[in-house]
């Protein structure tokens, strides 16, 4: 028998999964004492049950210790297995010691989660130098899901005559698949990142058409790449582009800055709660739960 728990601010996705799969929704209390220490209480019976925790891991530093306490508490009270549904998996861009002394946090965070959970479900983790999550995780059951089909469906139904634009060479395989499923043409930009807020963009030779550029990327945080590329495309005579992302990591300031650069619309999957959420990935997760 299974039971599902929603980490705070993950209730919408957890309730949707609970309702559609007829899995009871458990009750937990996660709060703070006046001195800032965490308080965790499980108000549902978990003995000999397969437990599912829904907790997307944006701002992971604020969640990790409480997630540790919750998982340990569930074990203490007899949970048989614990599956973590983390639609967004953090630290994956920190997959290399770029400068001497830097922490390879992708590896270390994977080790942290591997101690706590029996299985993991996530969506489009940022895989670059790490090609498969099993390279850094010791969790046996991992479902790495992809939002390409959902994104392609949204583009197909909402953008007429789209030109899919990839942010860099790394994105080509991903962008090509989205374009194929959306029946759209595509191009790839060349990007050199000098710092978080300093990016050089080179576009391939383009003939201006009436196509609508649609940037597709797995993560948008500062939006620097999108802003730089948007200005170049508009200067060439293209229509205002649309930005589509899996994980909306940008804050309100970055969101407004991207829009003010000339972007017509920003759309995201609901892996992280944001006003731009228009693409629902809950079906992907529900299909994967059966294997866990």
Higher-confidence residue: 193 or 253? 253
Mean pLDDT of the chain: 93
Mean pLDDT along residues 185-206: 77
Q: Is residue 123 part of a domain?
A: yes
Q: Is residue 275 part of a domain?
A: no
Q: Is residue 174 part of a domain?
A: yes
Distance between CA atoms of 275 and 14, rounded to whole angstroms?
Answer: 18
Residues 197 and 85 in one domain: no
Q: Is residue 216 part of a domain?
A: yes
Other Cβ atoms less than 10 A from the Cβ of 103: the count is 11
Residues 157 and 127 in one domain: no
Q: Is residue 173 part of a domain?
A: yes
Q: Domain holding 168: CATH number?
A: 3.40.50.2020
Residues 159 and 132 in one domain: no
Q: Is residue 154 part of a domain?
A: yes
Q: How many CA atoms lie within 13 A of 79 on its CB side?
A: 24
Q: In the predicted model, is pLDDT for residue 196 greater than 70?
A: no
Residues 142 and 152 in one domain: no
Convert the pLDDT of each residue in 137-176 to its tens digit.
999 999 999 999 999 999 999 999 999 999 888 788 889 9
List all residues 6 or more positions away from 253 whose beta carbon is below 8 Å from its beta carbon.
Answer: none
Number of domains in the chain: 2
Residues 22 and 40 in one domain: yes
Residues 244 and 256 in one domain: yes
Residues 94 and 220 in one domain: no
Residues 285 and 176 in one domain: no
Residues 119 and 19 in one domain: yes
For 64, the enclosing helix (H) or strand (E) is: helix 64-76
Residues 161 and 242 in one domain: yes
| Nearest alpha-carbon partner for 227 in 204, 188, 193, 201 | 201
Confidence of residue 48 (pLDDT cuts 50, 70, 90): very high
Q: Is residue 198 part of a domain?
A: yes
Residues 21 and 120 in one domain: yes
Residues 116 and 222 in one domain: no
Confidence of residue 94 (pLDDT cuts 50, 70, 90): confident
Distance between CA atoms of 191 and 172, rounded to whole angstroms?
Answer: 13
Q: In the predicted model, is pLDDT for residue 102 greater than 70?
A: yes
Higher-confidence residue: 87 or 126? 87
Residue 116: which domain range?
2-146+280-289
Q: Is residue 242 part of a domain?
A: yes
How many whole angstroms from its chain centre is CA 150? 14
């Amino acid at each position: 028998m299974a039971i599902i728990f929603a980490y705070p601010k993950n209730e919408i996705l957890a309730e949707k999964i609970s309702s559609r799969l007829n899995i009871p929704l458990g009750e937990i209390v996660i709060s703070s004492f006046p001195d800032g220490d965490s308080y965790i209480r499980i108000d549902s019976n978990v003995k000999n049950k397969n437990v599912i925790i829904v907790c997307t891991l944006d701002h992971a530093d604020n969640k990790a210790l409480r997630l540790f306490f919750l998982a340990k508490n569930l074990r203490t009270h007899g949970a048989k297995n614990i599956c973590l549904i983390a639609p967004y998996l953090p630290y994956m861009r920190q997959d290399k010691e770029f400068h001497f002394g830097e922490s390879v946090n992708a590896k270390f965070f994977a080790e942290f989660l591997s101690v706590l959970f029996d299985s993991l479900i996530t969506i489009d983790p940022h895989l670059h130098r790490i090609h498969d999550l099993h390279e850094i995780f010791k969790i046996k059951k991992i479902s790495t899901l992809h939002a390409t089909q959902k994104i392609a469906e949204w583009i197909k139904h909402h953008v007429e005559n789209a030109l899919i634009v990839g942010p860099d060479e790394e994105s080509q395989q991903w962008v090509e698949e989205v374009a194929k499923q959306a029946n759209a043409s595509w191009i790839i930009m060349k990007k050199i990142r000098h710092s978080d807020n300093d990016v050089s963009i080179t576009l391939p030779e383009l003939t201006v058409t009436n196509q609508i550029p649609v940037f597709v990327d797995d993560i948008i945080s500062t939006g620097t790449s999108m802003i730089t590329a948007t200005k170049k495309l508009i200067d060439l005579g293209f229509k205002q582009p649309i930005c589509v992302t899996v994980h909306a990591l940008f804050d309100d300031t970055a969101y407004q800055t991207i829009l003010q650069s000339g972007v017509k619309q920003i759309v995201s999957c609901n892996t992280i709660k944001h006003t731009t959420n228009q693409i629902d990935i809950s079906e992907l997760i529900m299909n994967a739960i059966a294997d866990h």
